[in-house]
Amino acid sequence: MTQRLPTILLPALALLVFTTIARGAETYQQTEDIVYGQTDGVALVLDRFVPTGKANGRAIVDVASGAWHSDRGKIRDHKRAQVYHLMCQRGFTVFAVRPGSIEKFSGPEMLDHLNRGIRYAKQQAKQYQFDADQLGLMGASAGGHLACLAAVTADDSTRVAAVGVFFPPTDFLDYGGKKLDTSGGGRIGKMVRALAFSDRCAKESPEAIAQAVTAISPARLVTSAAPPFLLIHGDADPLVPLQQSQTMQAALQAKGVPAKLIVKPGGGHPWLTLPVEVGVMANWFVKQLVDSGSSSSRAVD
């Protein structure tokens, strides 16, 4: 299912969101820089957001990464988008995982770090009183890419019950109808090569490059075991083509996995009224994780 939000409603909805935020008390208690793992002596950290109001017995892992960088600025960006306010307002505990940055880590390494964060979050279920089997996963842009990748390659220890992502890259072999030059040419091609290989100076064959790029392209890795997805993407995105979410949706639906795509008319990367769509995603998570009451639910609307 693909849905477009009526543009006539957006200004009113945005005003409602910002007015509610301005008038309301803080909806969470934040704990910064919790160490959830180490790699080569480097600490892997996350922030935890616990609702100050009534908790709903569920939690969400938010992948705090943009352009495959995960400095503290990404936490601030998600705060500006009201991710933690709106998720905690609805009773979710949120773990904002920072999986590392592309200068030091490849895509598979960042995926490993994210999986460690997911396991850590599940281990906190008893202390923070949420159902580890009803864990949600979300992210935007690079964080959306890593969330998609983690969801479609999960094992029993990292499996999640629902995934919500904004404008994620999902297929580096067909990027907006073009084949990227991953041999080292072009800005995006260089970034994809850095994502695909930990040794960026290695001389790889075209076959090895294609195999490595496929391994970080979640739309190419979908199985019927994937959880329900919500994708939200602008049709004027100058960085990640809308085709990337469309491709992911099609791959999921081809395997019988519920997948809903909401297209934001005129939406860039991101857009001014993004908190409106964050609220839509928060409501979707409530339906998937709270109202369903069962990890076997496959609803998507």
Question: Would residue 21 be called left, alpha or beta, if left means φ above 0 and alpha means ψ between -120 and 50 degrees?
Answer: alpha
Terminal Cα distance for the chain, rounded: 9
Select the more confidently predicted residue: 68 or 10.
68
- Average pLDDT score over residue span 236-255: 98
- Contact indicator for 151, 226 with CB cutoff of 8 Å: yes
Q: What is the pTM of this model?
A: 0.89
Query: Tell me, what's the pLDDT at 205?
Result: 82
| Mean of all residue pLDDT scores within the chain | 90
Long-range contacts of 184-193 (CB under 8 A, 24+ apart): 191/68, 191/102, 192/216
Nearest to 242 by CA among 150, 160, 167: 167
- Average pLDDT score over residue span 277-301: 80
Under CATH, which architecture does the 2-171+217-291 domain have?
A: 3-Layer(aba) Sandwich (3.40)
Is residue 300 pLDDT above 80, yes or no? no
- Contact indicator for 60, 135 with CB cutoff of 8 Å: yes
Q: How many CB atoms lie within 10 A of CB 71?
A: 12
Query: Tell me, what's the pLDDT at 3?
Result: 65
- Give the confidence band of 10 by pLDDT, cuts at 50, 70, 90: very low
